[in-house]
Amino acid sequence: MGVRLIVEVMDHWSDFGLTSGERSDLVVIAENANDATRETYGSIHAPYILHRAGDKSAGAWKNAIGKLMKKGVLEHVVRDGRVMSGGWGQTAQYRIPHLCPRKGHDGLWGQCARPTQGHPSGDPVDSQEGQQGHLSGDPKGHSSGDPQGHLSGDPFPSVPSQSPHPPSPEAQRSPKGRQSKKKAKFDPILFIAEQTGLAQDIAERFLAELHRKHEIDREEGFLRHLADNGDLGRQAQRWRTRTTPRDTGTCAFHRTALPCASCIGDIRAGDPEIPLRLLAQYGPENRPDLAHHLMKEAS
């Protein structure tokens, strides 16, 4: 990887009148070249090179290379008097000539020490007059000719940080902002209503039933545990089914008027499975016929 070549290309591409696209193409080639020999590795017409160059076609990439050679920033390698331009059994090899007037390209902090106006010979200037940027012997300080006027020894002057989002008036009044708000008090009736869909007056009755059936120490923890397991909704539905009066006096299984002759017949025949299930579902207050006959058969 030609890191030094890439830096040299980025510092001097405008000196040769390259467009931004041509600069990008030359950077791709420099990445595939050797810093010491300035020559490319292998073929720069490989598919991965075309992909790095913006998925150019082979013809477009060939034209791009030709434009770079015309502008003098790329040339064929000459080895033993033979131009390595490609051909039968030969891979075309290219070389990036020295783009910097000073062949070492020894600019500091990635900036080339360019000759300034008044020194057309291109020789480095020892005095500080007329120079811009970093001096060749000063890796940190800036010259007096720096148009930005950075005279300190720090190449990266600090900028006071400022938040783009000023704090809200509420946050300024309170050191903890929203965290200072007190946690809302837990309302068990409202919680049951939200979790089960019951009206609040019915949820209050259901809560009383839960207290009657269970020894509840921490009401909030108990209800949240039931809700997380899905038991709160199931218990509320079963309780609601048992306590809701039936509008029609009919058997939910046989669809016959109560007392249901079919259920009573099953009990007398010694097959109380369906009557027992109906009694457990609707309770003795809604199916007194089942409760009466089951107790009678049990005795």
**CB-count exposure of residue 150 (10 Å: 0-12, 13-18, 19+):** middle
Alpha carbon distance 110, 28 (integer Å): 19
Question: Per-residue pLDDT for 228 more than 50?
Answer: yes
Secondary element (H or E) of residue 189: helix 188-196
Alpha carbon distance 225, 227 (integer Å): 5
Backbone angles phi, psi at 82, to 5 degrees: -110, 125
pLDDT tens column, 7-61: 888 888 888 999 989 999 999 998 888 888 888 987 888 899 899 899 989 889 9
Secondary element (H or E) of residue 145: none
Give me the sign of the Cα torsion angle 197, 199, 204, 209. negative
Of 124, 114, 119, 129, which is closest to residue 15 (Cα–Cα)? 114
Q: What domains can you pick out in the chain, each with its CATH number? A: 3-95 (1.10.10), 188-243 (no CATH), 261-298 (no CATH)
DSSP state at residue 76: E
Those residues with Cβ within 8 angstroms of residue 67's Cβ, 6 or more apart along the chain or in another chain: 22
pLDDT tens column, 133-154: 444 444 444 444 444 444 444 5
Asked if 15 contacts 114 with a C-beta cutoff of 8 angstroms, the reply is no
State how beta strands 75-76 and 94-95 pair: antiparallel
Predicted TM-score (pTM) of the model is 0.38
Taking the alpha carbons at both ends of the chain, their separation in whole angstroms is 98
